[in-house]
Structure 1
Amino acid sequence: MRNIKLTLEYDGTNYFGWQKQKTKVTLQGTVESVISNLTKEAIEITGCSRTDSGVHSRGYICNFVTNSSIPSEKFKDALNVKLPDDIAVLKSEEVPEEFHSRYSCRGKKYSYTILERPMKATIDRNYVCQCKYNLDIGKMNEACKYFIGTHDFSAFKNKGSSVKTSVRTISELYVEKTGNYVKIFVSADGFLYNMVRIIVGTLIDVGIGKINPESIKNIIDSKERTNAGKSMPPQGLCLEEVYY
């Protein structure tokens, strides 16, 4: 048996997230079906994480085992011919048998894009979240400093998570602005359910002056979800990179 690792780029707009579901179109189900047809095997893919409906990726990692003799680097071209236009294989490679897309992962990097203007988003509505107010990027970056490090992020977790611990380590968090577009980047050893989207909602509250940057420490220490900002829509969220 061979273990094949794929790096995927996808637009999640038309999918009900990554994880396969019986009655809904998902990314896992779509990719599995194409690989199974190609190899003439019943393939099951292991993904690096679950992503929600509408979330995108520039570097999602998954792997599968196969008896196929197709050269590992050729899977990329063969799959791209058959996959829908909103999913692409950027790289295919053979990896050691013990490699596991999820359990071997050491961290991930996400971005979140905000369109700062009073009018609704149109052309890029599936890739941004609209904010009608002017954001104070300086204060948002000041607030970012309080997230860095190892903390219990219970205040930034929505219900639905079955993890054993809410402790995570954020190694990087910063905000950039270009024109009307504000991008938030965050890297960590792992993320709780909706954690990034809640962090973004809290930083937006800082940016519009609803809370002070210094309040972030108290919100984290409280471990109370009601003290943090709202969970922002999935469209602006993109998985940028997975670390191994």
Structure 2
Amino acid sequence: MKNILLTVEYDGTLFSGWQRQPQRRTVQGELEKILSLVCRCPIQINGTSRTDAGVHALGQRASFKGDFGIPTDRLLIAANNLLAGGLNTSGRVGDLRILNAEEMSADFHARFDAKGKKYIYQILNEPELQIFSRNQYYQVQKNLDTDAMRAAAAHIVGTHDFKCFQAAGGEEKKTTVRTIYALNIVEKKTLEGKRIVALEIKGDGFLYNMVRIITGTLVEVGLGKKKPESVADIIDGKERQQAGHTAPPQGLYLAKVYYDLEELVEF
């Protein structure tokens, strides 16, 4: 019996999220279908994050067990060929790809052994809307004050009860206390010179829609609708309605899953 850990990237635009759903195309469902064909036995995978429809991943992790003979390196090649359309054509890629596959110990579990995650949220901050960026960015047309956003972000870093940043409808959690190890506001330019404001956030865990609500709150700070110091009061108040709007899914990327605590907490 093999226990395989996958590292996966995907464009979430045409997926109904990660978790398998009847009659809907999901990342988990597609991977299980392809891996079952390649391994010639039923495969069920366990992912670290149940990303929503439209959310992307640069480094989602998932594990599965099975009694199959195909070598792990060949499994990756065969699965990616099928995910790209099965044409054995170089240069062809679909919207879902396995980046790495490695054999782990029998007791390893991709979700339960994870120490934390890193998300990136990308905002295209330009006065004119960009049609070809609509599935990759949250487009904010008014200028964002990134200094104010950084001042607000400083109140989020640390261990807090983040109930104010939790949306209704998610899985019930035993506690809403989480630790955010870093929250950086990074400015950069596209090749065409367009302004991008990216939030890079690392933590030991995230509540339902937490990153998107943090982003919406910081955007409102950047637009002058909220004061940077108000974020501390919002966290202390634990009221969802006091925080900002929920930013759309298109700008959100699951960047990395950490299994080494030291790597997670380093800055």
TM-score w.r.t. structure 1 length?
A: 0.98
The aligned counterpart of 2:139 is 130
Q: Secondary structure at the match of 1:111?
A: strand
State whether residues 113 and 236 of structure 1, in contact with CA within 8 Å, keep that contact through their aligned partners in structure 2: yes
Partner of 1:219: 234
Query: Given the alignment of the two structures, is residue 152 of structure 1 paired with residue 161 of structure 2, yes or no?
Result: yes
Q: Which amino acid aligns with 1:169?
A: T
Separation (CA, whole Å) in 1 of partners of 2:69 and 2:4: 11
Aligned with 2:159: secondary structure?
strand
Structure 1 residue 231 and structure 2 residue 246: aligned?
yes
Q: How far apart, CA to CA, are the structure 1 residues paired with 2:47 and 2:249?
A: 19
Moved more, 116-125 or 100-109: 116-125
Is the 2:38–2:75 contact (alpha carbons within 8 Å) kept by the matching residues of 1? no
Instruction: Give CA-to-partner distance per residue, 1:85-131, whole Å, 9 cap, x none.
Output: 11111101000111111111100000011111222221121000111
Letter in 2 for 1:148: V
Letter in 1 for 2:122: T
State the shift of 1:74 in Å.
2.3
SS in 2 for 1:80: helix
1:177 deviation in Å?
1.2
The structure 1 segments of at least 4 consecutive aligned residues displaced by more than 3 Å after TM superposition are none
User: What are the ranges of 5 or more consecutive residues in structure 1 without an aligned counterpart?
Assistant: none
Question: Which residue of the partner structure matches residue 39 of structure 1?
Answer: 39
How far off its partner does 1:40 sit? 1.2
1:21-60 paired onto structure 2 within 5 Å: 21-60=21-60
Are 2:108 and 1:99 aligned? Answer: yes
Match of 2:186 among 172, 176, 182: 176
**SS at structure 1 position matched to 2:35:** helix
* Identity value in percent: 46
Structure 2 unpaired stretches of 5+:
85-93, 190-194, 260-267
8 A contact 1:114–1:182 mirrored in 2: yes
Question: Which residues in structure 2 correspond to 1:116-127 (within 5 Å)?
Answer: 116-127=125-136
CA distance in 1, matches of 2:147, 2:70: 52
- Are 2:148 and 1:139 aligned? yes
The Cα shift of 1:78 comes to 1.4
Partner of 2:164: helix, strand, or coil? Answer: helix
Q: Which amino acid aligns with 2:60?
A: Y
TM-score by length of 2: 0.90
| Deviation at residue 49 of structure 1 after TM alignment | 1.4
Question: Does the aligned pair in 1 maintain the 2:117–2:256 contact within 8 Å?
Answer: yes
Q: Which amino acid aligns with 1:76?
A: L
